[in-house]
């Protein structure tokens, strides 16, 4: 595979960092973007110990002005592959959901990916190559109570990807969305505690009765599974796969 420059938002931990490790090990140059520059730099240091080429930048994906200036600020680097991974969560019934939190989730997980795609698409077009991978969720295709903003944002990613895929049909650019069921990340660990409070049950019951009960496989999704899917999506073998939602859910949606 031709070495590419890959920007991963929320790349300092969790899914983003796992994808960075895997794709970096294949020889790609990684740009770790995180709201915390310190965490991004720590991630880059870990990758450097693994002989992976990586750089760190501070990026608030909810800041439209910062996104607009990003292609110029990272010069001479350019982005061939954009992985929209940054995510936040808030669990609450709608009546109690703070309005600013609702807006923040939409900004980070829907508007941010759209604006980042807009920022880097001109370079992808000029090079006649680009891959945009959104890290969605099982909640891109189903819903759960107390997650109205998250579900709305993740559902919106699918519509956005389909639209952009139609707009980029004239060049070698693809837009796809990974839709995993629960992955054991710090974000999910926080959800377990919040769900226990909202549902008035134990944290063990949240894991077994809410998160894993609908899954025939009864297992959290491994980050390496997502990294391998990303590897496929950026390969030539997937050059005609676009506008797709890759659902990795242990059979959840088969019911």
Taking the C-alpha atoms of residue 249 and residue 255, their distance in angstroms, rounded to an integer, is: 11
Q: Measure CA 29 to chain center.
A: 18
Cα–Cα distance for residue pair 117/119, rounded to 1 Å: 5
Going by C-alpha positions, the residue among 108, 128, 143 that lies closest to residue 16 is 108
Q: Which spans in the chain are helix H?
A: 14-25, 37-49, 64-68, 70-73, 99-106, 112-127, 148-167, 186-199, 203-205, 223-233
Map residue 51 onto helix, strand or coil.
coil
Query: 105 and 94 in contact (C-beta within 8 Å)?
Result: no
Virtual torsion, Cα 97, 98, 100, 102, nearest 10 deg: 0
Rounded Cα distance between 206 and 193, Å, is: 8
Concerning whether 150 is annotated as a catalytic residue, the answer is: yes
Among candidate residues 17, 129, 146, 150, the one labeled active-site is 150
Catalytic residue list: 150
């Amino acid at each position: 595979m031709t070495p590419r420059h890959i920007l991963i938002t929320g790349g300092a931990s969790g899914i983003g960092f796992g994808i960075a490790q895997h794709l970096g090990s294949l020889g790609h140059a990684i740009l770790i973007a995180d709201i915390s520059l310190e965490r991004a730099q720590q991630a880059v240091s870990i990758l450097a110990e693994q002989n992976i080429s990586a750089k760190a930048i501070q990026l608030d994906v909810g800041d439209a002005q910062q996104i607009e200036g990003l292609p110029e600020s990272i010069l001479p680097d350019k982005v061939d592959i954009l992985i929209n991974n940054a995510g936040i969560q808030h669990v609450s019934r709608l009546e109690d959901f703070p309005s600013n939190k609702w807006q923040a989730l939409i900004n980070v997980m829907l508007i941010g990916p759209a604006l980042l795609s807009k920022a880097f698409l001109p370079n992808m077009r000029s090079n006649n190559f680009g891959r945009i991978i959104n890290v969605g969720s099982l909640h891109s295709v189903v819903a759960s109570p107390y997650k109205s903003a998250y579900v709305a944002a993740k559902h919106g990613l699918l519509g956005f990807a389909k639209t952009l895929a139609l707009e980029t049909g004239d060049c070698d650019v693809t837009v796809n969305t990974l839709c995993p069921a629960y992955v054991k990340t710090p974000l999910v660990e926080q959800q377990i505690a919040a769900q226990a409070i909202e549902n008035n049950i134990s944290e063990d019951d949240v894991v077994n009765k809410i998160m894993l009960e609908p899954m025939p496989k009864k297992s959290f999704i491994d980050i390496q599974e997502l990294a391998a899917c990303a590897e496929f999506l950026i390969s030539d073998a997937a050059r005609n796969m676009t506008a797709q939602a890759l659902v990795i859910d242990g059979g959840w949606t088969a019911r």
